[in-house]
Chains A and B, each alone.
Chain A
Amino acid sequence: MDRTDPLSEASTSIDQPEWRELRRKKRKKFIILGLIFFAITLISALTLNVRWDRMGDLNTIINTILRFWPPDISTWPGFASPVLETVMMALLSTVIGMIISLPVIVMAARNINLPFNNIFYGLGRLIIVLSRSIHELVWALFFVTALGLGAFPGVLALSVRSIGFVSKMMAESIENISEKEVEAIEATGANRLQVWAFGIIPQIIPTLIGIFIFRWDVNLRASTILGVVGAGGIGYHLDLAIRTYNYSEASALILIILIMVGLGEIISSKLREKYVKESEGD
């Protein structure tokens, strides 16, 4: 739209019937959409199967909430080892997840040619979708049922869940590398391995570090709850505290989780700032 004098534009166009017609139509559409939205909301709110009979009255609810206060900080020293376990679970699962993503990355990157490329590409995409669309708790349930309780199935669950994200991002990063640098290495007479080592991998290192840090942060958040299904970490203690109605201990644990996740976010953003930018500038 080119600029005209706003005053004259406004005073003439507002009286024009087409403009008014357009406005009315737009308003009508907006109202209809709004009504449909409102109807859906109303229906789903009214048909939601709320178990009012299982819920106490307002007094009980408020009393229950108040029992979370104050957090029982005296229990903190005993939770040092679950905290460490949670952090280590996040770290190890990210590393293992990235290692087992390697074949998936090779399959899913379009510019790496394998024999039977289409089949492998489809397989890679399938693994990515499966890994991403199953929640980490479901993976944890799966591994706990298959392997027994402990942090090990939790780590495996987080690793498997990480495959999708890591492979997708890495494959995209490989697809976007500059072919010129690869050609330059090839022109020196380098073999395939050398092309990878000096032409391709240096280009994707910043993405790799960025993904690692990001995924570690995500896995840290996830590992705080895996204990609910018996897969290790601090979530087990939280689940236990809530199940035994020990609500002040539960709120102390939630405080620990808040601090842990908060620190994780600060560390990951600092690290990303430092390493990703530094290596991009190389």
Chain B
Amino acid sequence: MEDEHKPTWNKYDKKKQTKNLLLWAFVIGVFVWGASYLDFRFDRVLRARFPLSNFLGRMLPPDFRYIPGNIIYPLIETIQMAFLGTLLGIILAIPVTWFAAYNISPFKPISYYIGRFLTVFARSVHVFIWGMILVAILGFGPLPGVIALGIFSVGFLGKTWSEEIENIDWNQVEAIEATGANWIQVIFFGVIPQVIPAFVGLSIYRWDINLRASAVLGIVGAGGLGLELMFTINRLAYHRTAAVLLVIIIVVIFSEAFSAYIRGKFV
């Protein structure tokens, strides 16, 4: 086909081309304006008081002798916090899930929205903000960390669990109902057996995420390795900081492998 106005083939017509061009100009404009608004100073990377290379030099080599005496206990505390936080999250998530799963929600017009609101609310406030609030209320230590992890986990678990329940095979539930079972029996024999593997898998996954978070929650004063990290940085003992960081990285990698293994085995 000979078209005088279109000598070369183009994926987009003129109108779309201008639109794309304007869109790109807008995106780049926003980017440049944002960089100046946020006071980007790449020269700072080169001319800072502690240039990055110097800083790395101050961190390396990690002070391994610091690990046995000072890091083992915070490490155990971190694992404890993650475990108890996940458990608290699971306990709190059960009623929330019951409310937030549309097909089993008890008084749908009200409870469904309450459940949904709770999951969104718990998830939208970052675990560190929960940590800051709870440290302000309860004081320093691992307890506010556990509660913060628990509340934050409710958002994730409530959302994913209720989605699992909404996707169950309803025929099985009807079959249980047809035997004359009351609603508790229906939940226990019709709903729960269908979702247990997913629930366990998601809980283990959440434990993995919580371990990552609890390793650094100490930055806001909630116990664990993060507290140790803050101490060493505040004392400018960067060799020790590197040792703490190394332990955190190892723990995180280990927990990821462990949770993948368990999930592969059970689910």
Does B associate with A? yes
Q: Say yes or no: B126 contacts A225, CB within 8 Å.
A: yes
Give the interface centre of A54, A137, A138, A265 by most chain B CB atoms within 10 Å: A138
Segment of A87-95, A171-179, A186-194 in the binding face: A87-95
Q: What residues on B are CB-neighbors of A152 within 8 Å?
A: 38-41, 44
Cβ–Cβ contact A146 & B128, under 8 A: no
Decide if B44 touches A229 in the complex (CB within 8 Å): no
CB pair B252 A133 closer than 8 Å:
yes
Contact size range, A: 35 or more
- Residues on B with beta carbons closer than 8 Å to the beta carbon of A245: 136
B125 touches A138 (CB 8 A): no
Question: Can you give 14 contacting A-B residue pairs, CB < 8 Å?
Answer: A48-B143, A50-B142, A54-B139, A85-B37, A88-B34, A133-B249, A146-B52, A150-B39, A224-B126, A224-B129, A228-B220, A257-B125, A257-B126, A261-B125
Bound together, the chains give a CA A142 to CA B245 distance in angstroms of: 11
Bitwise, A137-153 to B at CB < 8 A (1) or not (0) is 11001100111101110
**Beyond known contacts A50-B143, A135-B248, A147-B48: 6 more, CB 8 A cutoff:** A44-B80, A48-B84, A51-B141, A64-B137, A138-B216, A257-B124
B93 at the interface (CB under 8 A from A): no
Taking the closest CB of chain B, its distance from the CB of A42, in whole angstroms, is 11
Within 8 Å by CB of A242, from B31, B39, B80, B132, lies B132
Residue B45 lies at the interface, judged by CB distance under 8 Å to chain A = yes
Please name all residues of chain A whose beta carbon is closer than 8 Å to the beta carbon of B139 when the two chains form the complex.
51, 54-56
- A41 in the interface, Cβ–Cβ < 8 Å? yes
Q: Is the CB of B49 within 8 A of A148?
A: yes
The total of Cβ contacts below 8 Å across the A-B interface reads: 152
Q: Interface on B for A, CB 8 Å cutoff?
A: 30-31, 34-35, 37-41, 44-45, 48-52, 55, 77, 80-81, 83-84, 87, 120-121, 124-126, 128-129, 132-133, 136-143, 146, 212-213, 215-216, 219-220, 223, 229, 233, 245, 248-249, 252-253, 256
Residues of A within 8 A of B31 (CB): 91-92, 95
Asked whether any CB of chain B lies closer than 8 Å to the CB of A45, the reply is yes
Q: A250 on the interface (CB 8 Å rule)?
A: yes
**Min CB gap B139→A, angstroms:** 4
